[in-house]
Amino acid sequence: MPREQPAATKEAIRKWMEGLDPWDLAGLERAVLASKSFMVACRLIVEWSRHFNNSSIKGVGKEEGERFGIKEATHASSIEVNWQIKHWGEVEDTHDVDRVDLARQLGSVILLVS
């Protein structure tokens, strides 16, 4: 269920988005639409954009060389679908195709911003 966010949170997000360059903003839009998650999209942009110095962002990245990439973003944005598959089973030529398409779209975001 949607929850109202504090005004300070909305303002911080608005300012962050206003600071994005056009490529990062386009990548953010594509990632949000593909993943249906603002947080997954933000993480991809921060992790892969050439405009962010990831070492200065506390908590981003696991170890040197490891990043929140296509696999992690696809998994994070498919948690509910994966639960449904475990509970009801996978629909052949649907869930698998959707998963690959999502990975393709999120990969295009990484290419766009990096």
Residue 30: inside a domain: yes
Kindly list the distances between the CA atom of residue 95 and the CA atoms of 25, 40, 68, 73, 103, in Å, as whole numbers in the listed order.
29, 20, 22, 16, 12
- Is a pLDDT exceeding 90 seen at residue 112? yes
pLDDT digits (tens, 9 = 90+) for 65-98: 678 999 999 999 999 999 999 999 999 889 999 9
Residue 97's domain comprises 8-113
pLDDT digits (tens, 9 = 90+) for 21-74: 999 999 999 999 999 999 999 999 999 998 886 545 555 554 556 789 999 999
Of 34, 36, 57, 35, residue with least CA distance to 46: 57
Residue 50: inside a domain: yes
Residue 72: inside a domain: yes
pLDDT at res. 6: 96
Residue 3: inside a domain: no
pLDDT at res. 87: 94
Residue 99: inside a domain: yes
Residue 67: inside a domain: yes
pLDDT at res. 51: 87
Residue 86: inside a domain: yes
pLDDT bracket for residue 2 (50, 70, 90): confident
pLDDT at res. 64: 59
Q: What's the domain count of the chain?
A: 1
Residue 2: inside a domain: no
Question: CA 48, CA 79: separation in Å to the nearest integer?
Answer: 22
